[in-house]
Amino acid sequence: MDDSDRAFEHAVVADGTALGSPRTDDFTRHGWAHGRLRVRTEGPGWKQFASAWDDLVPDAYLDSARCRRNRRYGRVLAHRDGTLEPLHGSQFFQSKAVNPVFGGQLRVFEPLSEAAFASLEFAEILRESVVFVNRVAGTHDWELGIHFIRVIAEPHQGADPAPEGRHSDGHAYVSIHLIGRHQCVGGENQVFRRGLPDSEYAVTMTEPLEVLMLSDTTMEHGVSEIRAMDPSLSGWRDTLIVDFNIVLDPAEVPGRTHSSMH
């Protein structure tokens, strides 16, 4: 990391509330970008969208991992003309090589609700993220894998948002959006260049819709544990994670609905 990189890092971290949109030139240079989406996070529409995180279900695949995690999963075909087509099916597969802890099995999660798919805010988040990725990767059709996740720290316990540790997820790009935090500390996102030992960037996201855009082929990421601020109570951290995979032929994508979000 040279001095200009450090200056950039400080400019971003020093005042979280002044965060601008993630910058494509940062992404092209580093393989990641941190910012905040220009989607409203006030008002009844946002409140209703964020309340979807109160309606997630326990992750049945966690076994003994040191984490309590509720989630739902959905898929969207982001067409190159801007149409966002919800897809049927909520199966999720990662190879054992990509995810030694949870990979090598077909995981079927509870689907995202129809109310979530009807949310204007959700469509705007996806649209803005897809526009960003199309700018850095060239315009493509993308299959989006969309994870709504709440990680919960029980009283007097820590919870690991990513029990697999430092990792990449086997996609082309990944965006990690903070939805909100409820009386929790920790949950620092760390970004590593593949093959290098030290993190290149680290940020504890606190603002709704702060986002980390990542190249999943050149970078790895991790998250530190969370703990409840008041240790006698539970605390939690809500995130939206979007996986981007290039689609060569939309006709081959399973679960087509030929419908469209907002």
Binding site for Fe ion (CB under 5 A): 169
- By beta-carbon proximity to Fe ion, the closer residue of 32 and 46 is 32
CA 121 – CA 127 distance, rounded (Å): 10
Closest residue to Fe ion in the complex (CB):
169
Q: Smallest distance from the beta carbon of 57 to Fe ion, in angstroms?
A: 20
Q: Smallest distance from the beta carbon of 31 to Fe ion, in angstroms?
A: 15
Neighbour tally for 102: CB within 10 Å: 18
Among residues 145, 154, 126, the alpha carbon closest in space to that of 69 is found at: 154
- By beta-carbon proximity to Fe ion, the closer residue of 75 and 261 is 75
Tell me the three state secondary structure of residue 97: coil
Q: Smallest distance from the beta carbon of 230 to Fe ion, in angstroms?
A: 28
CA 261 – CA 249 distance, rounded (Å): 20
Contact present, 224 and 66 (Cβ < 8 Å): no
Q: Smallest distance from the beta carbon of 90 to Fe ion, in angstroms?
A: 18
- By beta-carbon proximity to Fe ion, the closer residue of 86 and 145 is 145
How does DSSP classify residue 232? T
CA 87 – CA 171 distance, rounded (Å): 18
- By beta-carbon proximity to Fe ion, the closer residue of 85 and 169 is 169
- By beta-carbon proximity to Fe ion, the closer residue of 123 and 205 is 205
- By beta-carbon proximity to Fe ion, the closer residue of 241 and 246 is 241
CA 151 – CA 133 distance, rounded (Å): 27
Q: Smallest distance from the beta carbon of 192 to Fe ion, in angstroms?
A: 12
Contact present, 137 and 173 (Cβ < 8 Å): yes
Q: Smallest distance from the beta carbon of 104 to Fe ion, in angstroms?
A: 16
Structure tokens at 67: 């984490």
Contact present, 66 and 159 (Cβ < 8 Å): yes
Structure tokens at 142: 């993308």
